[in-house]
Structure 1
């Protein structure tokens, strides 16, 4: 009897849990107080088409906020919210075309629903929206029972746009994000506005993002971390090992390790580029490819430098080429890291921290180089000790 009661209670708990989970919109908040919700009526999920319901919510300190279907801006269907200047909000359906302002798409069937406007003493913009044909758009398709449907978002702080025109000009975003919604948990019973009188909350990214390494955010973050460590830590410190310790084997092993790690980070960047369908002609991607490609010759120059020095016990043209070629590429790589942060929409804080850290490492490297020159002049060379 006890065992039967246990299984009965467990089954009832599982049923109630499933009902609760599947009867509420899913939500994602990329940053504090900026949140997006999606709800799929049962009838739409059953036929994989029909109405879906969206909510965009943000403080009035934002000029506009937007989110859309797809995993990249190009060929996505985007929904932009901004103030209309009359105490309400404008919701604008737009088509993503890459890194240019998305243009108004009148084909998308959007309706602004009850509960929209300036709420919380007119401090919060809210758009409750019904979309009649958001499952398909020019260049893309989204299954309404997808358990990992890709979405994108962007936002811009600043003055209110104050326009009811769905094709109003919007400024370039401050930052952006991507994630995946499990639409099977976004099912609601009725084909009606699910946001009226519903509890609103800021979930701070919990429970909806894709945890897979294939997630573009993880790929981009991994690429950025690896390349930053290589360019502002590994390569400069590896260069400093030679003048400080005078042991070419340690220097060569360290730089070879950094070289291999660099190519791993570059590979992640290429994969991320393909995943987010980013235009290749950005300054960061072009300069990064050039720097990595040119660094491919540096081990060969290092070997020629070492052979020349061991034979002549002095530096030659190939020695100076190896040293200054490497220094120039490290500087270019550090600069390109800053361009990468800008392209990724990193905050000013990240930019400042990156710059300060790069400057400190540069000062340490210059100090090591000067020490090495003093040591070399005093002892008449340092590689000869390790021949």
Structure 2
């Protein structure tokens, strides 16, 4: 009598266990970060079901492929309000930031959220077994996979193509896709590896080129530039000033080269059309001018050129500082770093302004002292340069006229010069020891003799 009842109860007790059986899946679990990535491949459709959970870093990604190039990646980051998850399917064309692809249809399912400071993604992926440059091999028991974690600062966006900062940790593993194939459904949460083999440990990454680009540029602007102003203005060490200028140019060239190299790693800078890059290229013109204008052959072409050095230097410094600030914005730097950079920029700018003001006042006092001592107007430093330039030009003209006169007044061998009728002893041929031909100034004129007065030979 009780045997049928016992059998029914036994069957009923087994049914919940059958219903609670975990879906077919292969699972990656990283104990260091408590990150889980599970895959289920439907055996009756081309759908792939995903369960992805991780602490809320700026972004977390897992990709199908052996390396970044041509891998299909699923990148998670917080939504704009910080209450949900943005999932972005991306494909990379090299060792650079992957780009969002619209060819992958990813549908988020109920249960996707940010809970207890952790991402939780439940999704169905359609048309994601084949993509440009790669495919998911359902028959592989060791399908190559990669994972990566973004830096600690928060990224919040609803856009699937939001810019990413370089990862700080990454690694590789293989996944058994045969074991993951079964009835199509979202895998369950798990804290154990299943059908996965981790290849090596988690590798820590560094963006050394980008860091060097920023550090070298700041050293050139905030250390060597004001030091060079001191050398030129107060100590009058022109050789040291020239050497320091060359040193600064080398630093700037290296900073530009590193900036161009790192630009190719990010989607936001690959096309070189950001304000930071545009202003950096514009600033190359004044940098070139302050490098070549001091050349004597160029500086003596016109009196305006020597006066351009100081304003061009100030203009270049200002543009380089603005370029650096825009670079921090382009790299998504944190607010404290931007505030520190702004403070240092203002301090150095005021320091250079103070130095140049002192140099100008010092030159004015020196000029007034010279005027009171000699009773005549003295030029300041730039005017002296211009005066020297004019003097050089005048001497060249005098030498040209002297050469022309000498070619006309050739000696005929009899004491006569040319055909002007003057003899070697005077214009009248009388034998008087008079040079200069009456009222013409003679050679003794350069010894402060008055023009128009006959000069006798001693």
TM range (shorter): 0.5 to 0.7
For structure 1, list consecutive stretches of 5 or more residues without a partner in the other structure. 1-22, 30-34, 44-49, 159-168, 200-205, 212-216, 309-314
Provide the rounded CA distance (Å) in 1 between the counterparts of 2:356 and 2:70: 47
Which position in structure 1 is the counterpart of 2:287? 295
Pairwise mapping of residues 82-161 of structure 1 onto structure 2 (< 5 A)? 92-95=87-90, 105-108=103-106, 117-120=113-116, 124-127=118-121, 137-138=131-132, 155-157=154-156
Displacement of 1:359: 0.6
Cα pair 1:146 1:182 within 8 Å, conserved = no
Provide the rounded CA distance (Å) in 1 between the counterparts of 2:209 and 2:224: 21
Rg (Cα) greater in structure: 2
Displacement of 1:297: 2.8
Displacement of 1:280: 1.1
Provide the rounded CA distance (Å) in 2 between the counterparts of 1:157 and 1:240: 46
Which position in structure 1 is the counterpart of 2:257? 267
Asked if 1:338 corresponds to 2:335, the answer is no
Q: What SS does the corresponding residue of 1:156 show, helix, strand or coil? A: coil
Go from structure 1 to structure 2 and tell me whether the alpha carbon gap of 1:258 and 1:26 turns closer, same or farther (over 3 Å shift).
Answer: farther
Which position in structure 2 is the counterpart of 1:177? 166
Cα pair 1:113 1:130 within 8 Å, conserved = no
Go from structure 1 to structure 2 and tell me whether the alpha carbon gap of 1:330 and 1:265 turns closer, same or farther (over 3 Å shift).
Answer: same
Asked if 1:366 corresponds to 2:353, the answer is yes
Which position in structure 1 is the counterpart of 2:456? none
Q: What SS does the corresponding residue of 1:176 show, helix, strand or coil? A: coil
Q: What SS does the corresponding residue of 2:346 show, helix, strand or coil? A: helix
Normalised by the length of structure 1, the TM-score is 0.61
Go from structure 1 to structure 2 and tell me whether the alpha carbon gap of 1:66 and 1:334 turns closer, same or farther (over 3 Å shift).
Answer: same
Cα pair 2:171 2:202 within 8 Å, conserved = no
Displacement of 1:263: 0.5
Provide the rounded CA distance (Å) in 2 between the counterparts of 1:147 and 1:247: 61
Q: Which has the higher helix share?
A: 1
Cα pair 1:94 1:105 within 8 Å, conserved = no
Go from structure 1 to structure 2 and tell me whether the alpha carbon gap of 1:90 and 1:327 turns closer, same or farther (over 3 Å shift).
Answer: closer
Displacement of 1:105: 4.8
Q: Deviations over 1:60-95 (max 9, x none)?
A: xx9xx564759999997553455799xx95564445
Q: Deviations over 1:297-354 (max 9, x none)?
A: 322123349965xxxxxx9421221111121011011001000000000011111000
Provide the rounded CA distance (Å) in 2 between the counterparts of 1:27 and 1:135: 28
Q: What SS does the corresponding residue of 2:248 show, helix, strand or coil? A: helix
Displacement of 1:366: 0.8
Pairwise mapping of residues 47-86 of structure 1 onto structure 2 (< 5 A)? 54-58=52-56, 67=61, 77-80=73-76
Which position in structure 2 is the counterpart of 1:209? 204
Go from structure 1 to structure 2 and tell me whether the alpha carbon gap of 1:270 and 1:351 turns closer, same or farther (over 3 Å shift).
Answer: same
Provide the rounded CA distance (Å) in 1 between the counterparts of 2:337 and 2:50: 37
Cα pair 1:234 1:258 within 8 Å, conserved = yes
For structure 2, list consecutive stretches of 5 or more residues without a partner in the other structure. 1-26, 42-47, 182-186, 194-200, 368-379, 385-458
Q: Deviations over 1:105-145 (max 9, x none)?
A: 5435x77698x64533xx54423668687686446789987
Displacement of 1:365: 0.6
Provide the rounded CA distance (Å) in 2 between the counterparts of 1:327 and 1:301: 15
Q: How many residue pairs get matched?
A: 312
Displacement of 1:236: 3.4
Q: What SS does the corresponding residue of 1:181 show, helix, strand or coil? A: strand
Give the CA RMSD over aligned residues: 5.1
Cα pair 1:82 1:89 within 8 Å, conserved = yes
Q: Which has the higher contact order (CA 8 A, sep 6+)?
A: 1
Cα pair 2:77 2:87 within 8 Å, conserved = yes
Which position in structure 1 is the counterpart of 2:214? 224
Pairwise mapping of residues 22-33 of structure 1 onto structure 2 (< 5 A)? 25-26=29-30
Q: What SS does the corresponding residue of 1:126 show, helix, strand or coil? A: strand
Displacement of 1:53: 6.5
